[in-house]
Amino acid sequence: MLLDIAAELAKGGGTLVLVHGNADPDALASAHAVQKSFPDVFIGTPGGLDRVSKLLAKNLGIETFEDVAKVHAARILILDTSGPEQLNGEFDLTNAIVIDHHTRNTKWDGARMYHSDESKASCSEIVYELLKAAGKSPPREVSLALMFGILTDTGYFKFARPNTLITFSELMALHDIHMDEAMNLAETETDISERISQLKGAQRLKYWKVGEFIVAASQGSAFEASVCKALLSLGADIAFVGSQRGDDFRVSARATQTMVRKGIHLGKLLGGIGEETTNGGGGHPGAAGLTGVGDVEAILNIAAESAMKLLKNM
In a 13 Å sphere around the CA of 217, the CA atoms on its Cβ side amount to 18
Beta bridge mates, 219: 242
* Stretch 92-107: mean pLDDT: 91
Rg (CA), the chain: 19
Q: How far is CA 116 from CA 25, 204, 291, in A?
A: 19, 37, 20
286-300 residue pLDDT tens: 999 999 999 999 999
In this prediction, residue 190 has a pLDDT band, given cuts at 50, 70 and 90, of: confident
* Burial of residue 203, with CB atoms counted within 10 A of its CB: 0-12 exposed, 13-18 middle, 19 or more buried: exposed
pLDDT 10s digits, 40-66: 999 999 999 998 999 999 999 999 999
pLDDT at 119 over 80: yes
H-run or E-run covering 173: helix 162-174
pLDDT at 159: 86
What pLDDT is attached to residue 281?
Answer: 87
- 263: helix, strand or coil: coil
Classify strands 248-255 and 287-293 as parallel, antiparallel or unpaired: antiparallel
d(CA 129, CA 112): 20
pTM of the model: 0.79
**Domains in the chain with CATH codes:** 2-183 (3.90.1640.10), 196-312 (3.10.310.40)
| Residue-by-residue DSSP string for 72-128 | --SEEEEES-SSGGGSSS---GGGEEEEE-SS--GGGTTSSEEEE-TT-S-HHHHHH
What's the mean pLDDT in 219-245?
93
The pLDDT tens digits for 159-181 are: 899 999 999 999 999 999 999 99
pLDDT of residue 221: 83
- For the cut 80, the answer to whether the pLDDT of residue 188 exceeds it is no
